[in-house]
Amino acid sequence: MSEETSKLPKDIAAAEGKVNVQINGTWYQFPRGMRIIDACKSVGVHVPTFCYHPKLAIAGSCRMCLVEQGMPPRLAPGQAPSYDAQGYQHIQWMPRPIIACANTVCENMGIKTNSPLAEEVRAGVLEFLLANHPLDCPICDQAGECKLQEFSNDYGKLKGRYTESKTKKGKNLSVGPNINLDQERCVLCGRCIRFMRDIAKDPVLSFSQRGTHNAVTIYPGRELDHPYSMNVVDLCPVGALTSKDFRFKMRVWFLKETKSIDVNCGTGTNITIWSREEQVYRLTPRQNDEVNSCWMPDEHRLNYRFINSPQRIPQPVIRTDINAPHRASTWEPSFSALAEAIKRVPADQIAIIASGRMTNEELYMTRLLAEQIGTKHVDIVSRVKESDGMLISADRNPNTTGAQVILGLENPGSQLEMIRDGVQRGKIKAILCLGEDLTSPEAGFKAQDFENLNYLFVMDHTASDTARAADLVLPGVSFAEKFGTMINVTGRIQRLNKAIEPIGYAKDDWTILQSITKALGSNSPAMNAVSSMDILSLIGQEYAALENINWGRVGDCGLQVLETGVTIPLIEQEKNPQG
Amino acid sequence: MAFKTIKRPKISIGERFYLKALLGGLVITMKHLVLSIIGKSRSKKELGGSGIGVTMQYPEYRWDKHLPEYYRGYPVLVKGEDGRERCVSCQLCEFICPARAITIKPGEVPADSQWNKVEKAPVEFEIDMLRCIYCGMCQEACPEQAIFMSQGYLLTPTDKKAGVHNKAKLYELGGTKQGLVNKWNAYK
Ligand code: SF4
Ligand code: SF4
């Protein structure tokens, strides 16, 4: 036997800074100092928890994660430890369970999550939690995604023995502009308190009273009005903190979840779109430790109503005579009318104003369109404001980086001034406006500027002043209705997924651009693309920065493709809490 | 696997040509024929017939009295003795309905209402009776004893719209149910 194999497991593990732990009868190695709960999770052993959250400080208050634990017996003075055939010491099980979240693994430790003791203590903890619970699941918005419901089903006794009357606490209390509190439903896990204290840095929540009257309370005279306050709704494992916006809108079990990204700023927060029957009901953050951790700003979370708003443009609209009102049209005649109109204007008098809110695929089609027309006047509207020092990036366009790469813009937004000037001096006679309202303060056009134009084409999903002035409006779709990719401020390419079908007769923006370019006589390979995934593969062949990119490689959590040097403050803070 | 040989039973000529079964059936038919001709057909009274023939004279005579207690007519919503609408728009019936007949628009109970403790109630509640298959799943799923299969079966909508029962209609058909659901009183 070589020296290597005669070593005990503990020495082999110790050499790598690891320890041996037995979980439910199987031996594993974990890094020294790992929490028992993380260790169990990493090998697929589920431990139920309420108060534990990987991004928050440990509280150990809910006791839900109790497990049975054992260690080798303590040796008498002079006694040598004995090892079994595999080289492990005998485990002596402790009579009392320990909580898995606040204890770390150590050498030769044993954990049982399915022993009679562990099962009994879990059922006991649940019985205590339910003793004063109002059991109003039929009216509770959390029903269906409630940890208390799930755990009592999986581990509880299903029958209460508590016959005394329950303690009364506050119900349906408004604690902030977006949040309602129900103290009776609360399991006192304190996740919300720790989030507000450690992450939002606005400690307005706390426990008050004692015993069964113990309840989460808001500081007198204050409101839970932090710009990130709605994350406590996601954190709350039960229905104690609920969203006013989502209140009684729809039961969660009807909603379809679609992984996507937030398009309100350059961070590209990973989100889940919750929809039912072509209607979006809510957005929630999705964990991505490189982009948004587990959080999302309220402002972006609540910005989804435009998707199903009556302001959406349902079908193509055309103006056939100057000053005539718009009338509804269909797709094919609109494309040929547009192609004719473009051909009538000399190429250098046409400007294309694209948008930093377009996906890479749409920007690529825009580039092809510009090349087909032969114009150099292509730019996007830039939106730079102030960053909030957490997740909202200074760049309020979600895909400025993409526009820089795909359209080859050095300085996005710098040509806009020139185009505006050209329009005013009559040098530019036609504008193709893609997904922007030119009368918005960022774009800076005036309504009378449009009078100088011979032709104004707008592709957008929602009615705007620019669309009202346009000769032809083709309805595109919002972020929830399309597939595509965007590159965030840090240079990470991420995917948008389609949650609902386009509203009315609207079409996916990239297909509109494809049809226009085709009508102008292009025969680029992109004219044969049938999905935005095809376009992404074409992009991967053409751009060095995005070499070999394709839909599968981007994945649900995105792929770092560029080094822009920009960072996301909240993520930096999470990575070096001291700095 | 072991096989077991089973002996075929012996079938007589009469059995082979179904003679016995045919004759038995004919006897029953003849019995009813004779009873009908002499005006003494069965269930003459309950079926409201003249005694000739065994057809029920619907709609003058109806099954109503004969319906078993578990008969599943159209689903209705009920109010409690205290006048509270029992449905809290939990949408469990909408979820369970295999025919997707139910559409609920949940809403909030106004703060000044006597029943504001319930917090939630349907703004609109529609059952498309052209879709409903009278399965009774909604009644079974309801945690609030709010939706019941009634004994009613007389539905003659004249167009598709009239086939949809809205909340007002469902409460009108359902009326009040005896027995209190104590879950939502002030002390609970
Ligand atoms: S009886 Fe069945 S089909 Fe009819 S509404 Fe109820 S669940 Fe739906
Ligand atoms: S009738 Fe019953 S199951 Fe249906 S929504 Fe109302 S309370 Fe829920």
What DSSP string runs through B93-123? HHHH-TT--EEEEEEEPPTTSTTGGG-EEEE
Q: What is the mean pLDDT of chain B?
A: 89
Q: Which residue of A has its CA nearest to B141?
A: A138
Helices (H), A223-267: 231-235
* Contact (CB, 8 A) for A282 and A296: no
In chain B, residues 107-166 whose CB comes closer than 8 Å to chain A: 107-108, 117-120, 143-144
Domains and CATH numbers, chain B: 14-61 (no CATH), 75-184 (3.30.70.3270)
B24 interfaces chain A, CB cutoff of 8 Å: no
Residue-by-residue pLDDT tens, chain B, 188 positions: 688 899 998 888 888 899 989 999 999 999 988 888 888 887 777 777 777 777 777 888 888 877 888 999 999 999 998 889 999 999 999 999 999 999 999 999 998 998 888 999 999 999 999 999 999 999 999 999 999 999 999 899 999 999 999 999 999 999 999 887 777 776 66
For chain A, list the domains and their CATH numbers.
8-124 (3.10.20.740), 140-145+162-308 (3.30.70.20), 317-566 (3.40.50.740)
ipTM of the complex: 0.86
Q: Do A253 and B95 touch (CB under 8 A)?
A: yes
The whole-model pTM stands at 0.90
Q: What does the pLDDT read at residue A2?
A: 45
Residue of B nearest to A171 (CA): B117
Concatenated DSSP letters for B50-72? -SSSS---TTTS-SGGG--TT--
Residues of chain A whose pLDDT is less than 50? 1-4
Ligand 2 site-directed mutation target among B144, B150, B166, most atoms within 8 Å of CB = B144
* Ligand 2 pocket member B126 (CB < 6 A): no
Tokens of B72: 């599943």
> A248 vs B95: CB contact, 8 Å cut-off?
no
pLDDT of residue A322: 79
Q: Which residues contact A527 (CB under 8 A, 6 or more apart)?
A: A514, A517, A518
The pLDDT value given to residue B188: 63
Neighbour order of strands in the sheet with A179-181: A173-174, A179-181, A241-243
The C-alpha angle A349, A355, A360, rounded to 5 degrees, equals 110
Instruction: State how far residue B80 is from chain A, nearest Cα, in angstroms.
Output: 17
Q: Does B127 contact ligand 1 (Cβ within 6 A)?
A: yes
Of A138, A165, A171, which is closest to B90 when you measure between CB atoms?
A: A138
Beta bridge partners of B105: B124
Ligand 2 centroid to Cα of residue B82, in Å, is 18
Structure token digits, residue A404: 């820089």
Q: Ligand 2 in contact with B92 (CB < 6 A)?
A: yes
Which pLDDT belongs to residue A347? 94
User: How confident is the model at residue B169, as a pLDDT?
Assistant: 95
Long-range contacts for A519-528 (Cβ within 8 Å, ≥24 apart)? A519/A335, A519/A336, A519/A338, A519/A339, A520/A339, A520/A342, A520/A343, A520/A369, A520/A372, A520/A373, A521/A372, A522/A368, A522/A372, A524/A368, A526/A364, A526/A365, A526/A368
Confidence at residue A313, expressed as pLDDT on a 0 to 100 scale: 95
